[in-house]
Amino acid sequence: MLIKISWRNIWRHKLRSAVVITAIALGLWAGVFIMGFYFGIIEQKINDVVRSEVSHIQIHHPDYKKEDFNINYFIPDGLTISEDLSVDTLVQYTSGRVISMGMIGSAKANSGVRIIGIDPEVEALLTGIDNKVIEGAFFKGVKRNAILVGQKLATKLNIKVRSKVVLTFQHINGEITAAAFRVAGIFKTLNTTYDESNVYVNNKEFRKLVGENITYHEIAILLKEHEYVDTAAEKYKGLYPGLLVEDWLEIVPLMRYMTDMMDQVMLIFMLIIMLALMFGIVNTMLMAVLERTRELGMLMAIGMNKFRLFNMILLETLILAMVGGLIGLILGYITIEYYAVKGIDVGIFSAAYESVGFSTKVFPQLEARYYIQTALQVVILSIFASLYPGRKALKLKPVEAIRKI
């Protein structure tokens, strides 16, 4: 009976109730969609970092990073370790790399870079770098000392495909060595900072220049499933206690911060929206109580106790909030699912997004638990929103309320 009365009371003022329900629906729609948008950005960033830059796990000599990436600190038996890892049941691909910090120079300019010696066929499988070549070819068309440079670096050095560049780096014996390379291709990733500071060369040719005794400075491991990271990292730390084994969150600690903080940030964000909507509900219900003072006094006079009266106000508030909340969540779900396939082009902000390594096309996504969490927030806050109007109704005295005009 109370539910039926509460439903009818809401629609006694159709326009006012419709406005409140619409405000709640639009507020939640916007909130849910923004959550999906930012979770989409973070998920894409994680995929790009893992797939294109660091892989799931990396192995180095324990002193390699401590000594500022000194070329002498390569992995002992790196070739054997890389072969063993490639047949592990958890591993999809591995890539051994010879790495040196150095300078790249053209006729126009110079720049500091990280020179990455790779096996082109293996690296293409692991990072898909061959698919990111936008000019020239992936280590084709140049017979000897081919190099891949990022588009941002190519622009900075004013070079193009087939241009000649000079790399300067340290030999394993400590001497500074220089060698000429020819640009085979220009690549472009989603991270312009990465494109500007990294170049790729063939590791067999590069090893001849820096020291043939060198095996690998880095072994990158891409696992078959993202969920295997913790298990695999612990396994390899046990297998290779003398080496530095790090998972992608240890290599890029900023990503750990982003993933750990996102839930909290989104929770606070939705609470702010909910609080704003709650004040609107409080105002509407308070107006409803004041308009029905005489009616409420009459109900109390004929025997409705205070508990039932408060429950009626509570039910009216819950119905308003839940109808608006349900519409908002459905609209948010439909919008997110639509753009999860189509994507949202943020090309107008492309320069800013690419400078920090984010894609210029975002595919929103939101897990089911966030819809449930938002629905629970609506219910809880609507209960709080009913407290003040309910208290006002309980303080009415039947005799005075009935006489009020």
Alpha carbon distance 358, 308 (integer Å): 55
3-state secondary structure of 319: helix
Alpha-helix residue ranges (DSSP H) falling in 128-184: 151-157
Is the pLDDT score of 162 beyond 90? yes
The answer, yes or no, to whether residue 298 has pLDDT greater than 80, is: no
Radius of gyration of the chain (CA): 31
pLDDT at 349: 56
Measured distance CA(132)–CA(282) in Å, rounded:
55
What is the model's pLDDT at position 112?
94
* pLDDT value at 379 more than 60: yes
Q: What is the pLDDT of residue 358?
A: 62
Q: What is the pLDDT of residue 61?
A: 94
pLDDT tens figures, 263-277: 778 878 888 888 888
Does residue 94 have a pLDDT over 70?
yes
Q: Which class for 129: exposed (0-12), middle (13-18), buried (19 or more C-beta within 10 A)?
A: buried
Q: Answer whether residue 246 shows pLDDT above 80.
A: yes
pLDDT for position 53: 83
The domain segmentation of the chain, as residue ranges, is: 2-49+256-403, 62-242
Position with higher pLDDT, 126 vs 253: 126
Q: Give the Cβ contact number of residue 79 at 10 Å.
A: 12
Is the pLDDT at 225 greater than 70? The verdict is yes
Give pLDDT, residue 212: 82
Burial string for 359-393 (b: 16+ CB within 10 Å, else e) reads: bbebbbbbeeebbeebbebbeebbeebbeebbebb
Question: Rounded distance, CA 369 to CA 308, Å?
Answer: 34
| pLDDT greater than 70 at residue 401 | no
- Residue 360 in this model has a pLDDT that exceeds 70: no
Largest Cα–Cα distance of the chain, in whole Å?
102
Q: 265: how many CB neighbours lie within 10 A of its CB?
A: 12
Q: Percent of the chain having pLDDT more than 90? A: 44
Is the predicted pLDDT of residue 60 greater than 90, yes or no? yes
Residue 332 has pLDDT above 90, yes or no: yes
* pLDDT, tens digit (0-9, with 9 covering 90-100), for 72-92: 999 988 889 999 999 999 999
Rounded to the nearest integer, the mean pLDDT of the chain is 86
Q: Is pLDDT above 70 for 151?
A: yes
Position 347 pLDDT exceeds 60: yes
Q: Which of 76-80, 313-317, 386-390 has the highest mean pLDDT?
A: 76-80
In this prediction, residues 190-209 reach a mean pLDDT of 91
Cβ contacts of residue 185 below 8 Å, gap of 6+?
133, 135, 136, 137, 138, 139, 140, 148, 161
Task: Decide: helix, strand or coil at residue 211.
Answer: coil
Residue with tokens 């939101």: 366
Give the pLDDT of residue 404: 64
Task: Go through 289-328 and write b for each residue having 16 or more CB atoms within 10 A of its CB, e for each that does not.
Answer: beebbeebbebbeeeeeeeebbbbbbbbbbbbbbbbbbbb
Percent of the chain with pLDDT over 70: 93
Checking if the pLDDT of 157 tops 70, the result is: yes
Please, which residues bridge with residue 105 across strands? 110, 166
In this prediction, residues 172-178 reach a mean pLDDT of 90
Confidence band of 217 (pLDDT split at 50, 70, 90): very high
Residue 19 CB coordination number (10 Å): 13
CB 33 within 8 A of CB 332: yes
Question: Letter for the amino acid at 283?
Answer: N
The owner of tokens 């082109």 is: 120
Minimum mean pLDDT range among 32-41, 98-107, 195-204, 360-369: 360-369
Confidence of residue 116 (pLDDT cuts 50, 70, 90): very high
Spatial separation of the C-alpha atoms in residues 24 and 277, rounded to whole Å? 6
Tokens of 273: 């929206």
